[in-house]
Structure 1
Amino acid sequence: MCHHHPNQKPLYLLFAAQFQVLGSDHPITATVGGDVVLPCHLSPRMNAEHMEVRWFRSRFSIYVHLYQSGQDHFSSQMPEYQGRTEFLKGGVSNGNVSLRILRTRLSDEGQYQCLIKDGNFYEEATLELKVAGKAPEAGLPMRKASGFNHFPYEDLEILSISPV
């Protein structure tokens, strides 16, 4: 029998739904114009269909992608990601909550948070996305490269390619 103070929840309820959220220890690399998958999963592996999965950057309320109650939600999605995100539902029953970003832009580079909420319990992981095709120095002016029609990226702007 579980004895507890009237104002305190039993311990087994507090810890029943605990899990960790795991992303990637290394930066994910994308190419401008290509698609990239940001990996994220629950540990231990469990069904996340009924959980809230929120991918966001600096602000929690304006998200990159939100999956909640088994559906994608777009009402407060960051405008720059509209039509460019895909929550990979195929593995969600096994704890895989990865996100695909379509037609990657230079502005997509940076940190992403993958937050998973189950009832009152939540956990998150931080991932870093690097986008290739960037100018070597941030202050360097960029101009359209002409005569590179074999590149399938309309907005690819390169001055020089230097070793990373």
Structure 2
Amino acid sequence: MPPSSFGLLYNPLADGCSHEDYHGSRFGAVQVACPLKKVQAISGDDVLLPCHTDPRINLSTSTLDWKRPDLLRHDPRYIVYVYRNQKDDPQSDQDADRTSVSHRVLQWGDLSLLISSVRPSDSGPYESYLLDYGCVCTIQLNVVNRTTEVPSTASPSTRAADQSRAGAANFPAVAFALMITVLIVVGAA
């Protein structure tokens, strides 16, 4: 089994996590785990919603769906991705060409969903459903516009220092513009 692309394999049920802490489900000896409860992306980027089985099992002959549980079943965006009979099934999703699961890593229990060129309308909960095992896992996707400032995790003093350095970097341009203005005013007098 290859190493997980999402870090160490973590079994949240083994260390007594409550249902609120664990964002997946368990059926017999197989569970579906979503290592992240929330994923943030910038509009236009590709985003991966990580999801895998624990233990890692071969899913290449399994049936799996990715859905948007916040939408009504008759909404064409409700079904996001479908894998049946060892291939992608035609989806009713109008943006089916933007969603995929790597067939190559299904054999290692990785059913992560790739969404290409995300847009704000893609924001919402995404639910992976492994039909053969009755397992479900949900991830919340939040897509922001490129012009929207992503919240900074820097402290206020760090942000102030960064702004001060940015101001110092612009000093030569400001000084030059001021010098030109003075020369124009003096020359006009």
Q: Compare the two structures and name the one with the higher strand fraction.
A: 1
Larger CA deviation: 122-131 vs 61-70: 61-70
Instruction: Determine which structure has more spread, i.e. the larger CA radius of gyration.
Output: 2
- Could you tell me which runs of 5 or more consecutive residues in structure 1 were left unpaired when the two chains were aligned: 1-15, 134-155
Whole-Å separation in 2 of the counterparts to 1:40 and 1:130: 17
Shift of 1:162: 6.6
Match of 2:142 among 121, 130, 138: 130
Task: Give CA deviations for 1:82-127 in whole Å, capped at 9, x if unaligned.
Answer: 2111211121001001111001010111100000021xx3110000
Within 5 A, what are the aligned runs for 1:91-110?
91-110=105-124
Give % identity: 28
Q: Tell me which residue corresponds to 2:151.
A: 163
Q: Tell me which residue corresponds to 1:46.
A: 57
Whole-Å separation in 2 of the counterparts to 1:29 and 1:126: 14
Give every structure 1 segment of 4 or more consecutive aligned residues whose post-TM-superposition deviation is greater than 6 Å.
none
Query: 1:107/1:45 Cα in 2 relative to 1: closer, same or farther (>3 Å)?
Result: same
Contact (CA 8 Å) 2:36, 2:50: kept in 1 or not?
no
Match of 1:77 among 67, 72, 92: 92
Whole-Å separation in 2 of the counterparts to 1:111 and 1:30: 13
Whole-Å separation in 1 of the counterparts to 2:32 and 2:104: 18
Q: Tell me which residue corresponds to 1:89.
A: 103
TM-score, normalization: structure 2?
A: 0.58
Whole-Å separation in 1 of the counterparts to 2:67 and 2:121: 14
Whole-Å separation in 1 of the counterparts to 2:61 and 2:118: 29
Whole-Å separation in 1 of the counterparts to 2:36 and 2:52: 13
Q: Give the root-mean-square deviation of aligned CA atoms.
A: 2.2
- Could you tell me which runs of 5 or more consecutive residues in structure 2 were left unpaired when the two chains were aligned: 1-26, 153-189
Whole-Å separation in 1 of the counterparts to 2:122 and 2:67: 12
TM-score, normalization: structure 1?
A: 0.66
Query: 1:162/1:122 Cα in 2 relative to 1: closer, same or farther (>3 Å)?
Result: closer
Q: Compare the two structures and name the one with the higher helix fraction.
A: 2
Task: Give CA deviations for 1:4-47 in whole Å, capped at 9, x if unaligned.
Answer: xxxxxxxxxxxx96410111333112110010011111111000
Shift of 1:51: 0.8
Match of 1:55 among 53, 61, 66: 66
